[in-house]
Structure 1
Amino acid sequence: MAKVRGEGTIFKDKRGLWVAQVDLGHTPDGKRLRKRVTSKSRNEAIRKRRELLRAIEANTVTVGKIPTVEQWLNHWLKTIAPLRTRPTTLRGYESSIRQHLIPHLGKRRLDKLTTDDIRCMHTQMESADKSSSTIRHAHAVLSKSIKDAVREGKVGFNICDRMDRPKSRTEPRGAFSEAEANAVLTTAQGDGIHWYSRWLAALKLGARQGELLGLEWDRVDLQAGTIDLSWQLQEIPWQHGVKCGCKDLAKRAQTCPTRVPKVRPDFEIRPCYEGRWFTRPKTQAGVRLLPLPESLRVALLQLWQEGPRNEYGLVWATAEGTPLRANEDRTAWLELCKRAGVRPLTLHSARHTMVSLLLAEGVSPEVIRQIAGHSSILSTRNYMHVSLDQARSALGALG
């Protein structure tokens, strides 16, 4: 809360207006910090001063120059969000800010932003055929940034808290039935041991895409039959190096001669290949040692014996020996689903499938949580899909 030095002074300015001024001390650079209210009437100026003092007491008034939405978002993106955000999440923030928030709201002063302004942005995004999840994400990023603006005294409240969040109409991810999963794997066998083992790992372990694309052979123990999922492969954007000498810092940082990955100082990474890095899982629960199902152990043993090595030590790589890109991996998966004659579910649905099949076998949700690497059982429940046969059997037990 700003510290008030007395109740301020009242005087007439050159325009003939009464000015009530409250002294709030000094800024960090030594300049006097004041708030003023004006009126044609001296009594009205005194009344406004009382309101100002009450607002300062309630910590709902801001001091100093109020930034525009664009100025604040750029500041937030550069100096606040990176300190607590993972690189992939930060990239999503940047996309929403550049493509949606700044074009629609950037010119508005932060303390003048209204719920009507934000609803107008939602409407314009809908008119531009943006998905409901994209609109919801943009709203969430705006709310996060203004929450920090409130904490730092730039505005008195978060305008996003005074309205409903936009609804998301995205369909929940599904899960393959056991028959569909078997059809996928039967088809994959015809593609060679490289791709067969890749999809077998996805369906049998339910590991995340980044965990498997970043899996290294030295974390696979074929003799003991275990696999160490303590790293994952992710693309991380670049930023200019300190005192890099680049004349135009607005240019893409990947051209900077002293570029560095855009991560917070405590973020643990290892270099892999062209902007792709080994990173730790999001939570400690994601670091896990899993037993290999026998079919997967046999497939990986065959891949080890037959497959070519690559300089990055990766289990799965391109024919040139470079890491597989996530989009290439997803494209190969969807093509496989088409050839197998099953629903074209996303690759992440393989993870849902593993959870659902374990549930059908009566495995404890807590055990499933640990296998999937979820931080809480609530996360695991979002992955559980009861099949129609299971539901029919359960209801049939009622007689």
Structure 2
Amino acid sequence: MSKIRGDLNPPKYRESRGLWFATLDLGRGPDGKRRKVEVSSKTRAGCIQKRMARMKEIEDGTYTPGVKPTVGEWADHWCDEIASERVGPRTLANYRSYVRKHIAPHVGARRLDALSVDDVRALHRGMRESGVSDRTVQAVHNTLSKALKDAVREGVIAQNPCDRMDRPRARMQERGSYSRAEVRAILTTAEGDGPGEYSRWLAALTLGSRQAELLAVEWPRLDLDAGTVDVSWQVQQLPWRHGHGCACGPELSPRQCRHREPDAPSWYELRPAYKGTWFTRPKTAAGVRVLPLPGPLVDALRVWRDVAPTTSLGLVWPDNRGLPRLGREDREAWTDLCRRAGVRQLTLHSARHTMVSLLLDDGVDPEVIRQIAGHSTILSTRGYMHVSPDRARDALARLAG
């Protein structure tokens, strides 16, 4: 690198601007042109301080010439060009929502390289004052930190202010699971709703698969003779984007575009289901799996198969039109079932926790449970494990004896 000759150029005051200016002479670049960097401040001392800081950036290799984007501009660029090729459509939609609702209104106008720890704390404070939950504050912070980490990686800024502060804490949400008695009450009630509903909730409580995985199960992926089910697809509603090269104006939303397409990266594997609903692959390779079916579920599915209406999509548990059952409708049916069964009102996701906990109670190896649940790591599985009071009491009795 050419010698920096900033110390040979003392600050000069420009009355027309009311500022002190200093120039760093970086010598000639590869194109033969002289390269200069200018800094300014309201005071001579401040100008000298800025010049020294800029010289250090140049010497450390952390200075990037050109006008720095604002936080909002970088966040939009990050969503469109970086995160869009890294994550699935639903996650990307969350990122865009966090940027639009929280990051842009609070710190979007701040220049990216001027964003400070205090600015990020002000973002947290402003969100909390507007009534946003601690969990959302944490999610927005994580999104901003990821965007800034990529800005550092690409040389746009020198450091990520989120790395110099603690991540905001969020109150842990209680993730309960049902007891064996409650499971029996739920299934007894579901049995009176017919073979379709009974097999749906029996699958939720015994397979522990994700809601989107079970709603995507097609009859050809069920082998009742072998007693297995392929849960390697999910059914999801994906956001739209304008089709490549479309002539839509800014007044038309992506949903109105004649050439619209799902807002998903090129590597994202999906199949059309119905309108904005698609069959998609799980988030991780661990989610692609074939599960054994317990005997009672095989029997229930045989009964359901004999009376189930034929649908064009071949779904095992469709809605009454033969189309993919919406997650909201499915959750509402679960809530109603639990109310009629007289059990605690836990979320549908608690059925997944219940399966993991009951297998743990039965002494099943955690690694086997991990593979059944489709978790990428055993740490994820441990968050689903709830030791029953009886098992804990027996363990403590053995310890005392």
Q: Same fold (TM over 0.5)?
A: yes
- Counterparts in 2 of 1:373 and 1:7: CA distance versus 1, 3 Å: same
Which residue in 2 is equivalent to 1:274?
A: 275
Using the TM superposition, give the Cα deviation of residue 45 of structure 1 relative to its aligned residue in structure 2, in angstroms: 7.2
Which residue in 2 is equivalent to 1:239?
A: 241
* TM-score, structure 2 normalization: 0.91
State how far apart, in whole Å, the 2-side matches of 1:57 and 1:86 are.
39
* TM-score, structure 1 normalization: 0.92
Using the TM superposition, give the Cα deviation of residue 243 of structure 1 relative to its aligned residue in structure 2, in angstroms: 1.0
Q: Does 1:15 align with 2:14?
A: yes
User: For residues 103-130 of structure 1, what are the alpha-carbon distances to aligned partners after superposition, in whole Å with 9 as ceiling and x for unaligned?
Assistant: 1111111122222222222222222221
Q: Give percent identity, aligned residues only.
A: 52
Q: Give runs of aligned pairs for residues 21-40 of structure 1, distance below 5 A.
A: 21-23=24-26, 34-38=36-40
User: For residues 260-285 of structure 1, what are the alpha-carbon distances to aligned partners after superposition, in whole Å with 9 as ceiling and x for unaligned?
Assistant: 11111111111111111111111111
Aligned to 2:192, the other structure's residue is in SS state helix
State how far apart, in whole Å, the 2-side matches of 1:25 and 1:269 are.
52
The one-letter code sitting in structure 1 at the alignment partner of 2:24 is Q
The one-letter code sitting in structure 1 at the alignment partner of 2:4 is E
Using the TM superposition, give the Cα deviation of residue 251 of structure 1 relative to its aligned residue in structure 2, in angstroms: 3.9
Which residue in 2 is equivalent to 1:151?
A: 153
Retained in 2: the 8 A contact 1:20–1:45?
A: no
Retained in 1: the 8 A contact 2:138–2:167?
A: yes
- Counterparts in 2 of 1:5 and 1:312: CA distance versus 1, 3 Å: farther
User: For residues 22-65 of structure 1, what are the alpha-carbon distances to aligned partners after superposition, in whole Å with 9 as ceiling and x for unaligned?
Assistant: 4487799x998642235799999788655433222223333211
User: For residues 134-174 of structure 1, what are the alpha-carbon distances to aligned partners after superposition, in whole Å with 9 as ceiling and x for unaligned?
Assistant: 11111111111111111112211111111111111141311
Q: Does 1:185 align with 2:187?
A: yes
Which residue in 2 is equivalent to 1:54?
A: 56
- Which deviates more, 347-356 or 112-121? 112-121
State how far apart, in whole Å, the 2-side matches of 1:43 and 1:133 are.
44
State how far apart, in whole Å, the 1-side matches of 2:170 and 2:339 are.
28
Using the TM superposition, give the Cα deviation of residue 8 of structure 1 relative to its aligned residue in structure 2, in angstroms: 4.6
Which residue in 2 is equivalent to 1:373?
A: 374
Which residue in 2 is equivalent to 1:354?
A: 355
State how far apart, in whole Å, the 2-side matches of 1:38 and 1:98 are.
33
Gaps of 5+ in 1: none
- Which deviates more, 131-140 or 170-179? 170-179
Which residue in 2 is equivalent to 1:325?
A: 326
The one-letter code sitting in structure 1 at the alignment partner of 2:336 is E
Which residue in 1 is equivalent to 2:394?
A: 393
- Which deviates more, 380-389 or 16-25? 16-25
Q: Give the paired residue count.
A: 394
State how far apart, in whole Å, the 2-side matches of 1:139 and 1:329 are.
31
State how far apart, in whole Å, the 2-side matches of 1:162 and 1:24 are.
34
The one-letter code sitting in structure 2 at the alignment partner of 1:119 is R
Using the TM superposition, give the Cα deviation of residue 245 of structure 1 relative to its aligned residue in structure 2, in angstroms: 0.5
Retained in 1: the 8 A contact 2:315–2:324?
A: yes
Which residue in 2 is equivalent to 1:134?
A: 136
User: For residues 161-202 of structure 1, what are the alpha-carbon distances to aligned partners after superposition, in whole Å with 9 as ceiling and x for unaligned?
Assistant: 111111111413111111111111111111111111111100
Retained in 2: the 8 A contact 1:25–1:34?
A: no
State how far apart, in whole Å, the 2-side matches of 1:138 and 1:35 are.
35
- Counterparts in 2 of 1:18 and 1:167: CA distance versus 1, 3 Å: closer
* CA root-mean-square deviation: 2.6
State how far apart, in whole Å, the 2-side matches of 1:316 and 1:24 are.
71
Q: Give runs of aligned pairs for residues 178-257 of structure 1, distance below 5 A.
A: 178-248=180-250, 251-257=252-258
Gaps of 5+ in 2: none
- Counterparts in 2 of 1:292 and 1:45: CA distance versus 1, 3 Å: closer
Q: Does 1:294 align with 2:295?
A: yes
